[in-house]
Amino acid sequence: MNGHERFENNNAEETFRIGQLAEEFDVTLRTLRFYEDKELLAPRRIGNTRIYSRSDRARLRIILLGKRLGFSLADVAEILALYDPESGNVRQLKVSLEKGEEQLTKLKNERERLDASIDELQKTIVSFRNMLAEAESK
């Protein structure tokens, strides 16, 4: 079996090898092992081979989305831990919404700081250009 074939378990659930998920999500094997060490992913093992379920794949999608949006791993872990399909994931959705709104506020504040820095830098560059032009004209 090569690294691109999918495992099928006894329940006919689609499973994935580490290399498949790494390729699909454009992450390194080390990244997947890191998330496993942080207990964000919990693949089965057959010998030394990690076997990821569809659930692990969905969790990885959430982890990577959280990372792109600037969430801490602790925040992502909290959201993942609240998964409860029997309740309709109400608590998970509420916490996700709360953390999402907090992160949006942080990002907007960061953008304001960046905009101010950009404005200041542009003014400084104009000043340097004027000073250089004056120095070169002498």
Predicted structure pTM score: 0.78
Q: How many domains does the chain have?
A: 2
Range of the domain at 22: 1-71
How would DSSP label each residue in 57-72? HHHHHHHHHHHHTT--
Count Cβ atoms within 10 A of the Cβ of residue 114 and give its class: 0-12 exposed, 13-18 middle, 19 or more buried: exposed
Taking only the tens place, the pLDDT of each residue in 29-45 is: 999 999 999 999 999 99
Is residue 56 a contact partner of residue 41, using CB atoms and an 8 Å limit?
A: yes
61 plus 117 within the same structural domain: no
pLDDT tens, residue by residue, 55-77: 999 999 999 999 999 999 999 99
> Is residue 17 located within the same domain as residue 64?
yes
